[in-house]
């Protein structure tokens, strides 16, 4: 099958949506499909062979964060050229409601199209206001996927229609096979995320750290992610600052080793999360998880059975829960066992098969014969719609 996937966010700046698209593309390629991903990226960037640059992204406030998006005449021209050259059997756009490449592709495309919705924002006035603009795109979408029940709810409430829930995928084996790194073992707590983005919750964790250290002065907090370390640690007392190690950006391999090494992984996010891919990665690496009780996190953690929860932005509750867990190796072992069982449903062997089944259902419904990869050339010419948009370069 020839599959085109559109990434709305800057490929050069790692994030959950980009990781999902990357892993989905590589899973599909390993299954024998021909995949091309269109994404915002600097033309000079070193990209995987399957990624096509649509030009440089610009920073835009979006969903309580700052997203790097690509929109405009140059981007639209590249979208149309990519659609024409790809002659895809199926187009898969991610976040079609975001003002970026997915929206441009939705306007230009006229053939079988699947959309995945990642955003969870129950009070999005922008999405509600944009509904009339988005409606022509949504009428073209043949199947909708939401990465969680909360992303599905956002779609239903703001844009209408419904979606099948298929969670984000993780290569569970990659994290499970990682080896602990001696640099990060001992009494350690881990945090991974953009450190200056308030909704990732690092300030809540740092506020809890003095109380944790009062009970466990040997604890180190390991912080991995992009951001201004000096600004993040400016309010810490010297003795607390000495127990925090900023690791900067880490590779996928380093992230897996870090998660394998820590005694406890803390996700203190404050909102705007529709899933929680880092929780699944932590569980895959056998790191006990303590997370804020966002609805999406509670779902990923099986209602608290595969990881513990604390009230959002409650530094005192976070500290008490962390101290209790660090004092209870039996409970930590129980969490590891429960997580290892629960995390299997997020492996790409399951998630990838579910997404591929959606593709095949859509293509079969458009006049294919058997599996989508078996679509005949004469069928392609007689489809009700083609992926190539009406405009020409």
Both structure tokens of 368: 């294919």
Q: Are residues 340 and 378 in the same domain?
A: no
Regarding whether 32 and 149 lie in a shared domain, the answer is: yes
pLDDT of amino acid 154: 83
251 plus 230 within the same structural domain? yes
Same domain (yes/no): 278, 351: no
Question: Is 311 found in the same domain as 198?
Answer: yes
CA distances from 282 to 115, 192, 343, 353, 388 (A): 27, 10, 10, 23, 41
Q: Report if residue 104 sits inside a domain.
A: yes
Banded model confidence at residue 382, pLDDT cuts 50, 70, 90: very low
Residue 278 counted as domain residue: yes
Across 54-63, 124-133, 302-311, 328-337, least confident range: 124-133
Q: Give the C-alpha separation, 37 to 354, whole Å.
A: 19
Note whether 141 and 188 are same-domain residues. Answer: no
- Give me the residues paired with residue 2 across strands: 34
Q: Map residue 233 onto helix, strand or coil.
A: helix
Judge if 183 and 218 occupy the same domain. yes
Q: Which residue from 371, 337, 389 is spatially nearest to 105, judged by alpha carbons?
A: 389
Q: Which residues of 247-284 are buried (b: 16+ CB within 10 A; e: fewer)?
A: beebeeeebbbbbbbbbbbbbbbbbbbbbbbbbbbbbb
What is the tally of structural domains in the chain?
Answer: 2
On whether both 297 and 376 belong to a single domain, the answer is no
Averaged over 345-350, what is the pLDDT? 96
Domain for residue 132, yes or no?
Answer: yes
Tens digits of residue pLDDT in 42-52: 878 899 999 99
pLDDT band at 389 (very low <50, low <70, confident <90, very high): very low
Q: Please state, rounded to an integer, the average pLDDT across all residues of the chain.
A: 88
Q: Which of 61-70, 171-180, 266-275, 298-307 has the lowest mean pLDDT?
A: 61-70
- 204 shares its domain with 105: no
Residue 196 sits in the same domain as residue 320? yes
Dist CA 228 CA 15 (whole Å) = 18
H helix or E strand, kind and range, residue 345: none
Is there a domain that residue 391 lies in? Answer: no
In a domain, 389, yes or no: no
Q: Residue 160 sits in a domain of what CATH number?
A: 3.40.50.2000
Would you say 27 and 348 are in contact if contact means Cβ atoms under 8 Å apart?
yes
pLDDT at 393 over 50: no
Domain that holds residue 157: 2-169+347-382
DSSP-based three-state secondary structure for 254:
helix
β-partners of residue 165 are 146
Instruction: Give per-residue pLDDT as tens, 208-242.
Output: 999 999 999 999 999 999 999 999 999 999 999 99
In angstroms and rounded to an integer, the radius of gyration of the C-alpha atoms of the chain is 22
Pairwise CA distance, residues 386 & 393, whole Å: 17
Query: In this prediction, what percent of the chain has a pLDDT beyond 70?
Result: 87
Looking at the chain, how many residues does it have? 393
Give a yes or no: residue 241 inside a domain.
yes
Give the tokens for residue 149.
Answer: 């029940």
Exposed, middle or buried, 237 (CB in 10 Å: 0-12/13-18/19+)? exposed
Q: Tell me which H or E stretch contains 147.
A: none
Helix (H, G, I), strand (E, B) or coil at 8: coil
User: Which secondary structure element, helix H or strand E, spans residue 263, and what is its range?
Assistant: none
Same domain (yes/no): 243, 338? yes
Q: How far apart are CA 327 and CA 277, in angstroms?
A: 27
Q: Which residues, listed in sequence order, are joined to residue 292 by a DSSP beta bridge?
A: 310
Burial environment of residue 43 by CB neighbours within 10 A (0 to 12, 13 to 18, 19 or more): exposed
How many C-alpha atoms does 127 have within 13 Å on its Cβ side? 23
Give Cα 69 to chain centroid, integer Å.
16
145 burial type by CB count under 10 A (0-12 exposed, 13-18 middle, 19+ buried): buried
Report whether pLDDT(124) > 80. no
Cβ count near 317 (within 10 Å): 17
75 assigned to some structural domain: yes
Tell me: do 281 and 340 sit in the same domain.
yes
Predicted pLDDT of residue 380 = 37
% of residues, the chain, pLDDT over 90 = 68
pLDDT at 152 over 60: yes
Lowest-confidence pick of 85-89, 156-160, 176-180, 342-346: 156-160
Q: Is residue 102 part of a domain?
A: yes
pLDDT tens digit sequence for 275-329? 999 999 999 999 999 999 999 999 999 999 999 999 999 999 999 999 999 999 9
Residue 240 neighbours by CB distance under 10 Å: 16
């Amino acid at each position: 099958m020839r599959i085109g996937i559109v990434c709305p966010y800057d490929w050069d700046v790692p994030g959950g949506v980009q990781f999902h698209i990357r892993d989905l593309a590589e899973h599909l390629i390993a299954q024998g499909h021909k995949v091309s991903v269109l994404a915002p990226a600097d033309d000079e960037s070193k990209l995987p062979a399957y990624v096509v640059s649509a030009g440089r992204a610009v920073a835009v406030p979006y969903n309580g964060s700052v997203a790097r998006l690509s929109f405009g005449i140059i981007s639209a021209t590249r979208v149309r050229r990519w659609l024409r050259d790809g002659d895809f059997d199926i187009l898969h756009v991610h976040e079609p409601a975001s003002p970026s490449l997915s929206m441009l592709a939705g306007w230009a495309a006229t053939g079988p199209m699947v959309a995945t919705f990642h955003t969870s924002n129950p009070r999005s006035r922008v999405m509600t206001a944009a509904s009339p603009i988005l409606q022509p795109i949504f009428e073209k979408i043949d199947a909708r996927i939401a990465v969680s029940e909360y992303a599905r709810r956002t779609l239903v409430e703001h844009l209408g229609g419904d979606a099948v829930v298929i969670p984000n995928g993780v290569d569970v084996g990659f994290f499970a096979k990682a080896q602990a790194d001696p640099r990060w073992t001992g009494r350690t707590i881990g945090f991974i995320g953009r450190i200056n983005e308030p909704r990732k919750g690092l300030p809540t964790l740092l506020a809890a750290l003095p109380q944790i250290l009062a009970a466990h002065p040997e604890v180190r907090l390991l912080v991995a992610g992009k951001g201004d370390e000096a600004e993040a640690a400016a309010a810490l007392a010297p003795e607390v600052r000495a127990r925090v190690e900023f690791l900067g950006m880490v590779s996928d391999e380093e992230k897996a080793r870090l998660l394998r090494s820590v005694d406890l992984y803390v996700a203190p996010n404050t909102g705007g999360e529709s899933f929680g891919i880092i929780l699944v990665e932590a569980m895959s690496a056998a790191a006990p998880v303590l997370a804020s009780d966002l609805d999406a996190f509670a779902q990923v953690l099986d209602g608290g059975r595969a990881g513990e929860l604390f009230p959002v932005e409650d530094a005192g509750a976070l500290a008490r829960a962390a101290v209790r867990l660090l004092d209870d190796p039996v409970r930590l072992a129980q969490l590891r066992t429960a997580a290892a069982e629960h995390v299997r449903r997020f492996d790409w062997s399951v998630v990838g098969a579910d997404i591929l089944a959606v593709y095949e259902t859509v293509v079969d419904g458009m006049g294919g014969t058997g599996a989508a990869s078996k679509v005949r050339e004469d069928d392609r010419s007689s489809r009700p719609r083609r992926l190539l948009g009406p405009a020409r370069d």
